Chain A
Amino acid sequence: MDRLRTEWLLNAVLAGALFAVPLWALMAGEPFIITLATRIAILAIAAVGLNIALGLGGMVSFGHALYFGLGGYVAGIAAHHAFHGTPVLGLPGTNQMLPIWAIAMVLSGALAGIVGALSLRTSGIFFIMITLAFAQMGFFFPLSWPAYGGEDGLPIFMRNQFPGLNTARPWDMFLIAYGVLLLTLGLFAMLRAARFGAALMAIRQNPDRAAAIGISPFGIKLVAFILSGMITGLAGAMMADLTRFVSPAMMAWTMSGELIVIIILGGVGRMFGPVAGAAILVGFEVFFGGLTEHWQFWLGLVLLAVVLFARGGLVGLIAGRARNV
C-alpha cells in the first residue's frame, strides 16, 4: 500500500513539475524551456503508446518510429497541400490539428494492424527483428520518394492550428501537448484497470494459461498493438508541428530505440514511466550535449548501467517494483 501511495505521489510530482517548469519559464520569458517541456510531453505521448504494447503486452516493438514518422508525414503533407492549395488524393489539404490527428491515428492504426498481424505470428527475438525490419522499410519509402522532399524532409511553414489557441506561441503549443499527454495517460490507466488490460497482462505473463482460461492471445495483442501505434502516430503528428519539419529521420531505427530507452529509463509498464523517461532523456541531451559533443557515449554507459544493475527505471527506483511483475 505504501509503495502504491509513493508511486501516486511521484506521478503527481512529475505531472506538476512538467506544468510548473514551463509556467515559470513563461513568467521568466524563457521560450526555449517551454519548447523543451513541450518536446518532453510529446515524446512521452509517443512512449505511452509504446508502453501499451511493451509495458502491458510485453511486445518489444523495435519499430515504433514507423508510426511516429507516419504521423509526422500526415501533418507535413496535409500542411504542404493546404499551404499550396493543391489537393491530395482528391481531397484538400488542411492546416487544422484535429482532423490531422484523426487521419494520423487512423493511418497509424491501419499500418500497425498490418505490421502487427504479420509480426505477431512470431514472438520473442523474431518479433523484435521483424518490427525493426518493417520500420526500416517505412524509413526507405519517404527517403526514396522525391515528391515530399525525399532525404531533405518537408518543412511546415506555418504551424497547424488548434481551435481557440494560437499555436505559434510556445505556451499554447505546450498546453496542447500537455493536455493530450494527460488524456493518453488517463487512457493508459483505464486500459490497465479494465478487463482488456488484465487479459493483456495475463497473456504477457503466461500465454498458455491465458489461452487455457479462454483468452485469445492473438486478438488481444493485435488490438493493443494497433492502439499503441495510433497513440505513437498522434505524437508524431504533434512533433512535426512542434519542430515544423518532418524528415525520414523521424522513422529511423534510432528513433525506435529512443522510445524504448525512454520507457526503460522511466520504468516499464508504469503509468508515468514515459514522462520520467522522456524528461531524463531530453534533460541528459540538453545538459551533457552542452558539455561534450560525445554525449551519446555517456548516454550509452548510463543506459548500460541501468539495464545491468538498476532494472525498473526511475519510477521503480523510487516507488519500488511494480505489483504485477
Chain B
Amino acid sequence: MTLALVLEQVLNGLQFGLMLFLMSAGLTLVFGVMGLINLAHGSLYMIGAFCCAAIAGVTGNFWLGLMAGIAAAAAAGALIEVLVIRRLYARDHLDQVLATFALILILSEGVRMIFGPRPLYLNVPDMLRGTVNLGIVDYSLYRLALIGFGLAVALGLWALITRTRLGIQIRAGESDREMIAALGVNIRWLYTVVFALGAALAGLAGALVGAIQSVQVGMGEPVLILAFVVIVIGGIGSIKGAMVGALLVGVIDTMGRFLLPRFFATFLDTSQAMGVGAALASMLIYLLMALVLIFRPKGLFPAHG
C-alpha cells in the first residue's frame, strides 16, 4: 500500500463526495424552503444523465449533452412542481412520501419507455480524457475535473444564496414562509424556482457521473438514499451541513472500501477478508449516521437555531 494509492483513493472520495453534495444541496434546499421530502430527486438525477447521454450521442459533443441534461432536469423539476408537488406542501410527510414514490415509478417507467431497457453509455469528453500527473500519482483528468466542477458549483451556490436577491428570498423562505409571502414575494414562483434549481443540480450530478458509470433506469435511488444520509449527518436544511456531510460520506465510504479488506487481510485469509471487509465497508457511513444521531440528533449543523 503506497502513498500514491492512498492519495488516489482520497481524491476519489472527494470526487464522490462533491457529486453527493450536488444531490444533497437540492434536497436540503427543497426541504428547508418548502418543508417537503422529495423521493423523486433521484429520478431527476436519472433524467439529467439520460438526456446528456442521448444528446451527446447524437451530436458527439459532451458539453451540449451536459447543457441538455441540466435543462431537461430543471424543466422536469419545474413541471413536476407545478403539476404535483405544489399540492403536497400542506400535506403530511406520509402523503409526500407516497406521491413522490409514485413519481419515481412514473418517471422510471417513462424513461424506460422513451430510451428502452438497455443502459446508455456516455463517453468522457475528449479534452478531459487521460490522466494528469500529480507528482506521486497519475490521476484521471476527468475525475479531477469533477472535483473542480463540484467546488465551482458549490461556490456559485454559496454566492447565489448569500449575494443575490433570489438568495435573500430563499433564506427568508427558510426562516418564515408566511412572512415573506405577506411582504409581497411571489411565493409560488419562488417555490417553483427553488425546486427547478434543486432539479438542475441533480441533473448536473447525474450527467457528470453518467460518464464514469453506466446510464440506466434506477441509477438515481442509491444516490438519493446516500444523499439522505448526508442530510441527516449534516443537518436538514443546511447547505453547509450538506457540504460537510457529503465530503465525510464520500471520503469515509471510499476509504472504507479501500482500507477495510486490507485491514482484515492482516489476520484472515484473503477471500474471507474481502467478504468481511466489503460487508463492513458498505455499513460504515450508516454507522457514522447512527453516531451522529446519538450525539447530535439534529445533525452537525442544525439549520434552525
Task: List chain A positions with a Cβ less than 8 A from chain B.
Answer: 54, 60, 62, 118-119, 121-122, 124-126, 128-130, 132-134, 136-137, 140-141, 143-147, 253, 257, 260-261, 264, 268, 294, 296-297, 299-301, 303-304, 307-308, 311
Contacts and interface: CB of A to CB of B under 8 A. Distances in A.
A296 B109 contact: yes
Given A132-B228, A144-B275, A145-B275, A62 B97 contact: yes
Contacts of B286: 133-134, 136-137
19 contacts: A119-B293, A126-B232, A126-B236, A128-B37, A132-B225, A133-B225, A133-B229, A141-B282, A146-B275, A253-B221, A260-B101, A294-B112, A296-B108, A300-B103, A300-B104, A300-B105, A304-B102, A304-B103, A307-B98
Contact of B283 (A130, A140, A253): A140
A253 B105 CA distance: 13
Nearest to B96: A125
Contact of B84 (A60, A121, A129, A304): A304
Interface of B: 31, 35, 37, 84, 87, 93-95, 97-99, 101-106, 108-110, 112-113, 221-222, 225, 228-229, 231-232, 236, 275, 278-279, 281-283, 286, 289-290, 293-294, 297-298
B228 A129 contact: yes
Nearest to B290: A118
B225 A253 contact: yes
A146 to B, nearest CB: 5
Contact of B232 (A133, A253, A296): A133
Main SS at interface, chain B: helix
Contacts, number: 119
Nearest to A265: B98
B94 A60 contact: yes
Contacts of A141: 279, 282-283
Report the 3 A-B pairs with minimum CB-CB distance, sorted nearest first: A300-B105, A297-B109, A300-B106
A30 B236 CA distance: 52
A198 B252 CA distance: 44
A125 B236 contact: yes
A60 B97 contact: yes
B105 A130 contact: no
Contact of B98 (A122, A136, A264, A294): A264
Contacts of B275: 144-147
B231 A129 contact: yes
A311 B66 CA distance: 40
A140 B285 CA distance: 12
A300 B97 CA distance: 13
A296 B229 CA distance: 27
A303 B113 contact: no
Contacts of B232: 126, 129-130, 133
Nearest to A301: B106
